[in-house]
Amino acid sequence: MKGIRVRSKVWLEVDGTPFLGDGRERLLRLIFSTGSISAAAREMGISYRRAWAQLESMEKLLSYPLATREKGGARKGETVLTTEALRLLERFDTLKKGVREFVDDKFEEFH
Amino acid sequence: MKGIRVRSKVWLEVDGTPFLGDGRERLLRLIFSTGSISAAAREMGISYRRAWAQLESMEKLLSYPLATREKGGARKGETVLTTEALRLLERFDTLKKGVREFVDDKFEEFH
């Protein structure tokens, strides 16, 4: 067989509803790096409203906040991710890397 | 965290073009079980033309036939899968099961 590649995709669901895949992972990471939902939305080419709605739907499903506003300090006014959000991102990343490595191993079988 | 489930999807590509995922796998398996592209298409709720086009595009990418017409014998006139097609299906199935098992193991981490 010639040049066959195995591709994979991983996402998370709560009660059958998808809430975290590559797109939303990127949104959360951009909020983390920019400190702003609107800057993250701009970077992704989506509206602020849409980014905010995605964040809200994730929080609703998880029943805990993923982002909060800094009330004081040097980052006052910025949107920062909660510890739970960072933990979720880290776990999702580990999962994705694990699946990719597993698939890359299996991929040899297709040559 | 409550009831988070990990979901995954696997598919195959040749030179960056997807050619085998869950849908086409089902098409091939239905051709195998029914001995007919039109019966397989009917079962999937797609047109004969569409099923045939999917089969043809897979064969084009792989450069070998996946299905042939029986010229004689008890199954004369039936569409049968080639050895290569059966091998491909078997490998794809093994891959999918492997990924699912791997993901189910990882899934524990999300509770």
**pLDDT at A1 > cutoff 60:** no
Residues of B in contact with A109 (CB under 8 A): 91, 94-95
Q: What are phi and psi of B48, to 5 degrees?
A: -60, -45
Share of chain B above pLDDT 90, in %: 75
Residues of A in contact with B24 (CB under 8 A): none
What letter represents residue B17's amino acid? T
3 state DSSP class of B4:
strand
* pLDDT classification of B110: cutoffs 50, 70, 90: low
Asked if A47 and A27 touch (Cβ cutoff 8 Å), the reply is: no
What pLDDT does A32 receive?
Answer: 97
The set of long-range contacts for A29-38, using a CB threshold of 8 Å and a minimum separation of 24, is A29/A89, A31/A55, A31/A67, A31/A79, A31/A81, A32/A80, A32/A81, A32/A86, A32/A89, A35/A75, A35/A78, A35/A79, A35/A80, A36/A78, A36/A79, A37/A67, A37/A79
CA distance A14 to A20: 9
Distance from A74 to chain B by nearest Cα, in Å? Answer: 31
Which residues in A49-87 are b (16+ Cβ under 10 Å) and which e? eebeebbeebbebbeeebbeeeeeeeeeebbebeeebee
What pLDDT does B2 receive?
Answer: 62
What pLDDT does A108 receive?
Answer: 67
**pLDDT at A66 > cutoff 80:** yes
Kindly determine whether residue A91 and residue B110, on different chains, have CB atoms separated by under 8 Å: yes
Helices (H) and strands (E) in chain A, counts: 4, 4
Residues of B in contact with A62 (CB under 8 A): 1-2, 4
**pLDDT at B1 > cutoff 70:** no
Whole-model pTM: value is 0.82
> Which among B10, B11, B106 has the least Cβ separation from residue A95?
B106
What pLDDT does B74 receive?
Answer: 84
- Strand-pair partners of A17: A14
**pLDDT at B106 > cutoff 80:** no
Kindly determine whether residue B5 and residue A12, on different chains, have CB atoms separated by under 8 Å: yes
Average confidence (pLDDT) over A28-48: 97
Handedness of CA B66, B70, B76, B77 (dihedral sign): positive
Asked if A8 and B10 touch (Cβ cutoff 8 Å), the reply is: yes
What pLDDT does A36 receive?
Answer: 96
What's the pLDDT tens digit per position in B56-97? Answer: 999 999 999 999 988 888 888 899 999 999 999 999 999 999
Kindly determine whether residue B4 and residue A14, on different chains, have CB atoms separated by under 8 Å: yes
Of all residues in chain B, the one with the smallest CA distance to A14 is B4
What's the pLDDT tens digit per position in A69-105? Answer: 888 888 888 999 999 999 999 999 999 999 999 888 8
Write down the residue that tokens 């398996």 correspond to.
B29
**pLDDT at B107 > cutoff 90:** no
Share of chain A above pLDDT 90, in %: 75
Distance of CA B54 to the CA centre of its chain: 11
Residues of A in contact with B7 (CB under 8 A): 10-13, 18
Average confidence (pLDDT) over B100-108: 81
Distance from A86 to chain B by nearest Cα, in Å? Answer: 13
